Amino acid sequence: MSGKPGSGTSTLVDLLAKEMGWDSVNGGDIFRQEAKRMNLTVEEFSKLCKENLEVDRSLDDMLKNLISSQNGPSIVESRLSGWWANSAGIDCLRVWVEVSDMERAKRILSREGGDFETVHSASLQRNSDDMARYKVLYDIDLDDMSPYNLIIEADDLSPPEVLAIVKGKLRDKQ
């Protein structure tokens, strides 16, 4: 499961894991745990990742190993999980949840508070920073959807509607 921050991937993973009885790993949780382990705020850790690409690369290596492991989780949620699964040749459903910048900012605002302009600006900056970093680290263009076999335009969809689309695609794959 992949999508930009605020796209609803974490909610989707939670719903799918509960409904299917599957285990999951959230790349954002790994990021936050590593920040805590290093006694840094998420913002400080994010800055460290920008300055020292090896830190980011080591977190991505953890996710790649989980995706490729026979005993790994049923669901891996991260911005690059579809890329990792595709490049490893893993035959699985690779979902990208697409949500407009405005809608993502609204969702982040409702989750974290603040004012819309600040949240929207920070969201755009984070996306720009991430895109530049993934291009440098892996030559990945996050606008390239070729690794994904399901792209959901979710601006006007509720979490249960997005879940229904994913479950339908899972049934089709069986």
Q: With CA atoms as reference, report the closest residue to 1 among 56, 74, 100, 71.
A: 74
Q: What is the helix, strand, coil percentage profile of the chain, to 5?
A: 60, 10, 30
What pLDDT is attached to residue 174?
67
pLDDT tens sequence across 38-51: 998 777 887 788 78
What pLDDT is attached to residue 23?
95
Report the C-alpha gap between 15 and 81 in whole angstroms. Answer: 18
Which structure tokens are listed for 132?
Answer: 């530049």
Q: How much of the chain, in percent, has pLDDT values that exceed 90?
A: 66
pLDDT tens sequence across 76-128: 999 999 999 999 999 999 999 999 999 999 998 898 899 999 989 988 888 88
Domains in the chain, start-ordered, CATH in brackets?
Answer: 2-173 (3.40.50.300)
